[in-house]
Structure 1
Amino acid sequence: MKKLITSFLLLLITCICLKAQDKQAIVKLMHDQQTAWSKGDLEGFMQGYWKSDSLMFIGKRGPTYGWQQTLENYKKGYPDKAAMGKLTFRIDKVELLSKQDAFVMGAWSLAREKDAPGGYFTLWFRKINGEWKIVCDHTS
């Protein structure tokens, strides 16, 4: 009986540690995005997204499909470093839904010379080839 309880506890601890590692990986990805954006590096920022035609981005103009189209929309909306400003994320929730899916909710803000826009986001992350990537982004 002691071996059974010990085995169960080890399995439980392992699961908790793996969940913590996945959450840390997601938070790191978002930190890397924040850093790239604030440097004016849209290509670097986009590395957090699934590079697929099935990527979905939902903004104020409705859904956009595809990694490349999402990048092009960002380039139009934020043509230079001044327009991009300094990005800050506030992560309110990271919930692992399964071994390969996660939900993230939070807020974003930009610090720019003449204004400070901001809003909220919900993100669906999926673990693809061992890496967490955003597969759906709803930002307002």
Structure 2
Amino acid sequence: MKKLGSLFLFLFVIIESQAQTAADRKAILAILDRQTADWNAGNTTAFMNGYWQSDSLTFIGKVGVTYGYEATLSNYKRRYPDRASMGTLKFTILKLEFQAPTVAYVIGKFHLTRPKVGDAEGYFTLLWRKMNGKWVIISDHSS
């Protein structure tokens, strides 16, 4: 009888963890969808809502490492000052994995369609952490 109880407990834990992962996967993908919509509306401030609002946020790009939410937002605004430079964003998610219940890792590709200034594209790696029940990007490496 104890073995049967242990088996049910084990199955419950497995099913619960998979359900949590599915809900978390859906939440992360929804944030990325919202970021795409915000970018395509020309709103870099709203786009940044997917990022951790902390001085410890890291963004790694072609020019090196940027530390902090405000500095990252500032770089976005300077690099993409108008709708023509922002273009239309499309994300392609190549991999989304969970390293722990509160840590996720996303690899993807971005493409900016920009008829006036030329298209741009590259790849990104995002490290996510679930804090206070909300998923946020704590590190972004885009190139």
Q: TM class by shorter-chain length? A: over 0.9
Alignment deviations for residues 20-52 of structure 1 (CA, whole Å, 9 cap, x no partner): 111111111111101100000101100000000
Q: Does 1:13 align with 2:15?
A: yes
Gaps of 5+ in 1: none
SS of corresponding position for 1:53: coil
Alignment deviations for residues 42-94 of structure 1 (CA, whole Å, 9 cap, x no partner): 01100000000110000000000010010110011000112111100000111
Q: Match of 2:135?
A: 132
Q: Match of 1:39?
A: 41
Among all aligned residue pairs of Structure 1 and Structure 2, give the percentage whose two residues are the same amino acid: 45
Give TM-score scaled by structure 1 length.
0.96
Distance of 1:51 and 1:10 partners within structure 2: 35
Aligned runs of 1:1-140 on 2, under 5 Å? 1-114=3-116, 115-140=118-143
Question: What amino acid sits opposite 2:119 in the alignment?
Answer: A
Gaps of 5+ in 2: none
Deviation at 1:2, TM superposition (A): 2.8
SS of corresponding position for 2:54: coil
Distance of 1:106 and 1:46 partners within structure 2: 17
Deviation at 1:100, TM superposition (A): 1.2
Tell me the C-alpha RMSD between the 2 structures. 0.9
